[in-house]
Copies of this chain bind each other. A is one copy, B any other.
Amino acid sequence: MVALLFDLDGTLIDTVYAHVLAWQVAFEEAGLNINGWRIHRRIGMSGGLFTRAAVRELGHEIEPERVQQMKRRHGELVDQFLPRRCPLPGAVELLQTLREAKVTFGIATSGTRPEINRSLDVLGIGSDVVVVDRNEVARAKPEPDLFLACQQRLGVRAEECCVVGDAVWDLLAARRAGMMSVGLLSGGYGEEELYRAGALRVYRDAEEFRHALYEIGIRL
Partner-B contacts on A (CB < 8 A): 10, 14, 16-18, 20-21, 24-25, 28, 33, 35-37, 39-41, 81-82, 84, 86, 88-89, 185-193, 205
Contact = CB atoms under 8 A, between A and B. Distances in A.
A81 B84 contact: no
Contacts of A188: 36-37, 40-41, 188
Contact of A192 (B16, B37, B190): B190
A187 B89 contact: no
Judged by DSSP, the binding face of A is: helix
A81 B192 contact: no
A185 B81 contact: no
Contacts of A35: 14, 86, 88-89, 186, 205
Contacts of A86: 28, 33, 35
Given A17-B40, A35-B88, A41-B188, 10 more contacts: A14-B24, A17-B20, A21-B81, A24-B82, A33-B86, A35-B205, A81-B81, A190-B190, A192-B192, A192-B193
B28 A17 contact: no
A135 B49 CA distance: 44
Contacts of A10: 37
Nearest to A205: B35
A190 B193 contact: yes
A119 to B, nearest CB: 14
Nearest to A188: B37
15 contacts: A14-B35, A16-B36, A17-B20, A17-B40, A18-B24, A18-B36, A20-B21, A21-B82, A25-B81, A35-B86, A36-B188, A37-B185, A40-B188, A191-B192, A192-B192
A24 to B, nearest CB: 6
